[in-house]
Amino acid sequence: MDLPRHHTIRESSHRILDPFTDAQLATLGRALHLTPGTTLLDLACGKGELLCTWARDHGTVGTGVDLSTVFVAAARERAASLGVEVTFVQGDASGYVAESAVDIASCVGATWIGGGVVGTLDLLGRSLRPGGIALVGEPFWRTDPPEAALAIGDFVTLPALVEQTRDAGWDLVEMVLADEASWDRYVAAQWLNVRRFLDENPDDELAPALRHELSTAPLEYVTHQRPYLGWGVFALVRRP
C-alpha cells in the first residue's frame, strides 16, 4: 500500500507537507518547552521535518509513521543529513500504537487517519503517557464561507473546533496557527511542482488530470480557500 503518485508530485519540493513555515514549526517546538530525551510519535509524518528538526534543535527522540514510500525515504535522508537519530516506519498510521508510552504523540494535517479530530485524539491517546501532549493539525473556517467554498471540505470554525476538543475531554494548552502567507507558500509551491512535472513528463498518464488541476486550482484557491480557510496545530492534554 502506498499514497497515489499525484500527492508526491504536488509535494515534491516541500519538506513540511502542511501550510506551516520553518519558523512556525520552530515556534511550536519552543512553545512546548521540549527538552533532550523527550519522546515523540508522529503519525502520518510525511517527510519527517517535525521529528528531524526538533531532534536537531531540542534533542528529542522519536518515531514517524507514514504510508508513502517516497515520503519515508525523504524523511530518512533528512535525518541523515542533519545527523539525528530518528526512526521512520513505512506503513498505515491509522492503527499504529507505540510500544512504549511517549511524551508527545502527533498527527499534523492528517486527522482522516482517525476519522476526524476526536477519533485521532483517541488514537494518539493510546500512545501517550499520563499527562502527555497530543498534537493535531487541522483546517478550520476563519469566517463563514460562501456556499461555493464548502466543497473544499467538511470543516468547522475555530471556536467550534476548540469546543469539540473540550467536549471530548481534552484541555487545549497551546496552539500555533498558519496565516495567509504560509498557506501561499504551501499551496502555490504545489503549482510550480505540478508545472515542472508536466514540462518534464508530458506523456505521463497523470498529465491530463494534472494539466486540468493547474488550470483551475490557482483561481479556486484565491477565490474560496485563501480568504476563508485557516489551519493550525493544537496541543492538548487529556483531562483526568
Question: So what's the pLDDT on residue 172?
Answer: 98
Could you report the per-residue pLDDT of 142-183, keeping only the tens digit for each?
998 989 888 898 899 999 999 999 999 999 999 999 999 999
The mean pLDDT of 217-238, rounded to a whole number, is 97
The mean pLDDT of 119-147, rounded to a whole number, is 96
Asked whether the beta carbons of 59 and 29 are under 8 A apart, the reply is no
Question: So what's the pLDDT on residue 2?
Answer: 75
Question: So what's the pLDDT on residue 161?
Answer: 97
Nearest to 74 by CA among 49, 108, 42, 56: 49
171 sits in the region (left: phi over 0; alpha: psi -120 to 50; else beta) called: beta
Within 10 A of 57 (CB to CB), how many other CB atoms are there?
Answer: 15
Distances (CA, A) of 6 to 20, 40, 42, 187, 197: 21, 29, 23, 14, 10
Nearest to 98 by CA among 46, 41, 38: 41
Could you report the per-residue pLDDT of 54-97, keeping only the tens digit for each?
999 999 999 999 999 999 999 999 999 999 989 999 999 999 99
Q: How confident is the prediction for the chain on average, in pLDDT?
A: 96
Q: What domains are there in the chain, each with its CATH number?
A: 5-231 (3.40.50.150)
Could you report the per-residue pLDDT of 25-39, keeping only the tens digit for each?
999 999 999 999 999
Q: Is the pLDDT of residue 120 over 80?
A: yes
Q: Is the pLDDT of residue 218 over 90?
A: yes
